[in-house]
Amino acid sequence: MATCVERSKPRTARFNVDPSLFANPATIYNFVEYSRAFGCTNSGERDDLWLKMKEEARRDVEQEPVLGSYYVSAILAHDSLESALATHLGYRLATTSLPGPSLAAVFLAVFLEDRSIGVKVREDLKAIKERDPACVSYVQIMLNFKGFLAIQSHRAAHRLWTLGRVPLALVIQNRVSEVFTVDIHPGAQVGKGVLLDHATGTVIGETAVIGDNVSILHNVTLGGTGKVDGDRHPKIGDGVLVGAGTHVLGNIKIGSGAKIGAGSIVLKEVPERTTAVGNPARLLCGRDKPIKLTNVPSFTMDHTSFVSQWSDYVI
């Protein structure tokens, strides 16, 4: 990891790196050189997750040599997860007028400036590996899981948004929407350990807040009702599971540990550890006396197991 120096500079000063430094692909792949460009030094901390990902990449190349060049440029040529992720996002979101090296430089600048993003990235990787039965390795998440890539792009866009770099944040949002079919406003706040499973059609509004260890399936909207301005989007507590095709609308709270059934439309608050299903969504055991579920399927289990146990709790 790197420890930044020259603390007297403004917070945004470290973003002012000449994009021409990255015209040569060999440079963008070298995290150490880029760290020096930002006035940072490598502290030599061990990153076990990143070492594991490089081991996975080597095994994949041994199995499929045709992937050799791709894996070298995406994983094996990098000295850190931040460098690899920034480069991969940059080239996935690039256009002819917005080249990959320039976008990669922006992403890595953000990741270096705000080290908390790196922590969240690693928690997201672990959460996906644990919860998604389709996941075979961390490397596959990094390279192929568009929900993961959309969330990490959003983390960078959100940081830029909070620094007042609104045009760039909105451009990243737009490119993520076009490439990954996931539309997350850069103003939204997203916790760590988040799983966007499949992710296609996910829409998250500007004032939405998502807690830690949340699982959201595809075609989910966390949106407004269209009747109010300002703070108008849902607040999702820790450990919530939101089923596919669900729409949660308005500035309402979904309590920690709650479950929202697939296809539901939620317009009112859902208490903690309560299941809501239907259109409009209803709480189990009635609206006035929602049951506090203590033995519901865990949000960490795979989706097949969750669905198989769902009927035990629906009245």
Q: Cβ contacts of residue 152 below 8 Å, gap of 6+?
A: 85, 89, 117, 121, 124
SS3 call for 153 = helix
Higher-confidence residue of 137 and 288: namely 137
Residue type, position 105, single letter: A
Q: Which of 168, 159, 166, 79 lies closest to 117 in space, CA to CA?
A: 159
Task: State CA 34 to chain mean position distance.
Answer: 24
Determine the pLDDT at residue 33: 53
Determine the pLDDT at residue 23: 42
- What CA–CA distance (Å, rounded) separates 130 from 126? 6
Helix axes 48-63, 115-131, angle to 10 degrees: 50
Tokens in use for 218? 């595809």
Which DSSP string do the residues of 88-99 spell out, in sequence order? HHHHHH--SSS-
* Banded pLDDT at 7 (limits 50, 70, 90): very low
Q: Which of 244, 254, 273 lies closest to 208 in space, CA to CA?
A: 254
Determine the pLDDT at residue 44: 54
CA atoms within 13 A on the CB side of 293: 26
SS3 call for 42 = strand
pLDDT over threshold 70, residue 200: yes
pLDDT over threshold 60, residue 37: no
Q: Which domains does the chain have, with CATH numbers?
A: 15-181 (1.10.3130.10), 201-315 (2.160.10.10)
The chain-wide mean pLDDT, for the chain, equals 83
Determine the pLDDT at residue 285: 53
Determine the pLDDT at residue 154: 98
SS3 call for 183 = strand
pLDDT over threshold 80, residue 24: no
pLDDT over threshold 60, residue 313: no
- What CA–CA distance (Å, rounded) separates 16 from 38? 9
Determine the pLDDT at residue 302: 52
* Banded pLDDT at 284 (limits 50, 70, 90): confident
Higher-confidence residue of 302 and 78: namely 78
Cβ atoms of 145 and 152 within 8 Å: the answer is no
pLDDT over threshold 60, residue 165: yes
- What tens digit of pLDDT does each residue of 249-279 get? 999 999 999 999 999 999 999 999 999 999 9
pLDDT over threshold 50, residue 69: yes
- What CA–CA distance (Å, rounded) separates 175 from 280? 33
User: Which one-letter DSSP state was computed for residue 80?
Assistant: S
- What CA–CA distance (Å, rounded) separates 206 from 78? 34
- What tens digit of pLDDT does each residue of 210-220 get? 999 999 999 99
Virtual torsion, Cα 106, 110, 111, 117, nearest 10 deg: -130
Determine the pLDDT at residue 303: 52
